[in-house]
């Protein structure tokens, strides 16, 4: 059994407090609003949420849950604090940290007076880097102690959905947390021991980023479904039926396919069909800003890759792969061919290794490649082996991965400038002269 103080009796705090108490932990809920504290102590829920009132009532009756305005006592009498205060938008849309900052200072001052180890676990939604640049400095300044050594620090985002919050708490889709220290990791692991999903342990900033990624993804899903629904209705169709059929494909559509950060999409279908859908919407006088943004963002990803190459200052580029994906010789709307064309137009000497396009050239003596419309002299730029390409290149630009290229590229990565759009090795991140496009 753990002893935990929960700062903020709002949606997140009160659900966390009630569920922790239900699980047998001793919980002290803290708020600055006297009415909220009084309601908890009277066994009532301060918010409307399915199944919450009976949990609070039972927890208060068995004295596993109490509430107070007294932050010092709450910190003194517990081993860890959850921070669940609001982070409303500032006027410019940035995250508002006034409440989180205030609570960190309050908890820090209370920790100064403690002789036992105390962990501070932030659950409020905060942008990556906030723990390190705001929360930890405030806690250290107020406590006069060293984070991760004299007291614990963790970031543990909450993914509950209001109205199904308690069900979500006990059957979460994702548990992820970061901590500076082993005792805090151990506590969070213990608190999640019986949950029916894996607890992912990451660094603080990754945990912070995952929360925003999750909410942005949910928002994109809603907007995508609405935009398709609007176009479908304009065509006399049932948008919910269309989206329902899309979602029934859990092999490709509702799966992790196409969800791996990297280079732009291309090929003979996706760009053409997104353009056509956008035009259809225009013809039907339906707004489809997301389709427009998708095409623009794809353009921007090609520009980003081009800039990464020119930023190296190298003038000769060894491009690994030019077809739109490995395993094919198809160059129709390949973003790698477009990238090569842009680099050539900027005066760079681009050489290409692509075993499948080389085969296509031997099969068709006259063609510059299957569907290649942007690099007319591609045939002359082809290099027969990966070793020859690496030898000639100032910077290696990895667009596709090929089994025979893996070992030579791994060696080249040690010192030769490299821009990687596909991630040659699992888990590798940008370092030295190696730059991954999204890692």
Measured in degrees and rounded to the nearest 5, phi and psi for residue 36 equal -65, -40
Q: Which CB atom, from 35 or from 249, has the smaller least distance to ligand NAD?
A: 35
In the complex, least distance from residue 102 CB atom to ligand NAD, rounded to whole angstroms? 5
CB contact at 8 A, 343 and 306: yes
Stretch that binds ligand NAD, among 99-107, 240-248, 302-310, 413-421 (CB under 6 A): 99-107
CB of residue 21 vs ligand NAD: minimum separation in angstroms?
Answer: 17
Closer CB to ligand NAD, 33 or 363, in the complex:
33
| Residues 71 to 90 in contact with ligand NAD, rule: CB under 6 A | 84-87
Closest CA to 66 of 9, 106, 119: 9
What is the Cα–Cα distance from 337 to 343, expressed in whole angstroms? 10
User: Is residue 372 part of the contact set for ligand NAD (CB under 6 A)?
Assistant: no
State the Cα angle at 159 between 219 and 85, rounded to 5°: 105
- Smaller CB separation from ligand NAD, 84 or 390: 84
Span near ligand NAD by CB under 6 A; candidates 9-17, 139-147, 236-244, 339-347 = 9-17
> Using the rule CB under 6 A, is 7 a contact of ligand NAD?
yes
SS (H, E, C) 88-118: CECCCCCECCHHHHHHHHHHHHHHHCCCCCC
In the numeric block, which tokens belong to residue 409? Answer: 């590229």
Cα gap 383→58, rounded to integer Å: 73
Candidates 4, 11, 323, 325: give the one binding ligand NAD (CB under 6 A): 11
* Paired residues of 330 in beta bridges: 370
* DSSP classification of residue 198: P
Q: Give least dist CB 122 to ligand NAD, A.
A: 9
Phi and psi, residue 62, nearest 5°: -95, 10
**Rule CB under 6 A: which of 32-71 touch ligand NAD?**
32-33, 36
State which residue, 125 or 358, has the beta carbon closest to ligand NAD: 125
Least distance from ligand NAD to the Cβ atom of residue 15, Å: 8
> What residues numbered 159-218 form the site for ligand NAD, per CB under 6 A?
160, 162
Q: Is 269 a catalytic residue?
A: yes
Helices (H), 312-393: 335-345, 355-363, 378-381, 386-392
Q: Which CB atom, from 123 or from 370, has the smaller least distance to ligand NAD?
A: 123
Which C-beta is closer to ligand NAD: that of 124 or that of 301? 124
If phi > 0 it is left, if psi is from -120 to 50 it is alpha, else beta; for residue 87 that is beta
Instruction: Confirm or reject binding of residue 103 to ligand NAD (CB under 6 A).
Output: yes
Query: Interface with ligand NAD includes 436 (CB under 6 A)?
Result: no
DSSP 134: I
Closest to 157 measured CA to CA, from 107, 222, 94, 205:
205
Closer residue to ligand NAD in complex, CB, 38/232: 38
Smallest distance from ligand NAD to CB 166, Å: 12
CA 16/CA 49 separation, integer angstroms:
12
- Please identify which of the residues 235, 247, 269, 438 carries the catalytic annotation: 269
Q: Using CA atoms, how far apart are residues 66 and 69, in angstroms rounded to an integer?
A: 11
Return the residues of window 123-162 that contact ligand NAD according to CB under 6 A.
124-125, 158, 160, 162
Catalytic residues: 269
User: Can you give the binding site for ligand NAD, defined by CB under 6 A?
Assistant: 7-13, 30-33, 36, 84-87, 99, 102-103, 106, 124-125, 158, 160, 162
């Amino acid at each position: 059994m753990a002893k935990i103080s929960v700062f903020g009796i709002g949606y997140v705090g009160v659900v966390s407090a009630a569920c922790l108490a239900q699980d047998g932990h001793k919980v002290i809920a803290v708020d600055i609003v006297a009415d909220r504290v009084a309601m908890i102590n009277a066994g009532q829920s301060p918010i409307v949420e399915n199944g919450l009132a009976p949990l609070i009532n039972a927890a208060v009756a068995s004295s596993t849950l109490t509430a107070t305005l007294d932050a010092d006592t709450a910190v003194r009498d517990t081993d860890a604090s959850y921070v669940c205060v609001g982070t409303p938008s500032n006027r410019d849309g940035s995250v508002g940290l006034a409440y989180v900052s205030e609570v960190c200072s309050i908890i820090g001052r209370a920790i100064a007076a403690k002789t036992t180890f105390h962990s501070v676990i932030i659950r409020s939604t905060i942008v990556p880097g906030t723990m390190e640049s705001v929360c930890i400095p405030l806690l250290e300044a107020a406590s006069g102690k060293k984070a991760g050594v004299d007291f614990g620090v963790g970031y543990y985002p909450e993914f509950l959905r209001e109205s199904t919050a308690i069900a979500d708490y006990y059957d979460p889709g994702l548990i992820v947390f970061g901590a500076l220290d082993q005792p805090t990791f151990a506590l969070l692991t213990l608190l999640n021991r019986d949950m029916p999903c894996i607890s992912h342990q990451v660094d603080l900033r990754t945990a912070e980023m995952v929360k925003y990624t999750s909410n942005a993804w949910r928002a994109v899903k809603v907007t995508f479904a609405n935009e398709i629904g609007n176009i479908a209705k304009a065509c006399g169709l049932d948008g919910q039926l269309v989206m329902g059929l899309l979602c029934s494909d859990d092999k490709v559509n509702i799966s992790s396919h196409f969800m791996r950060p990297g280079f732009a999409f291309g090929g003979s279908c996706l760009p053409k069909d997104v353009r056509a859908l956008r035009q259809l919407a225009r013809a039907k006088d339906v707004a489809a800003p997301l389709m427009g943004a998708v095409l623009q963002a794809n353009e921007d990803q090609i520009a980003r890759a081009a800039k990464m190459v020119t930023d190296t200052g190298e003038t000769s580029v060894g491009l690994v792969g030019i077809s739109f994906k490995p395993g094919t010789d198809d160059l129709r709307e390949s973003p790698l061919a477009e990238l090569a064309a842009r680099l050539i137009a900027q005066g760079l000497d681009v050489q290409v290794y692509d075993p499948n396009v080389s085969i296509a050239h031997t099969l068709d003596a006259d063609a510059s490649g299957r569907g290649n419309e942007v690099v007319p002299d591609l045939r002359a730029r082809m290099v027969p082996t990966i070793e020859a390409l690496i030898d000639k290149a100032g910077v290696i630009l990895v667009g596709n991965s090929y089994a025979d290229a893996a070992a030579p590229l791994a060696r080249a990565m040690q010192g030769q400038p490299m821009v990687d759009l596909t991630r040659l090795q699992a888990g590798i991140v940008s370092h030295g002269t190696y730059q991954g496009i999204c890692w």
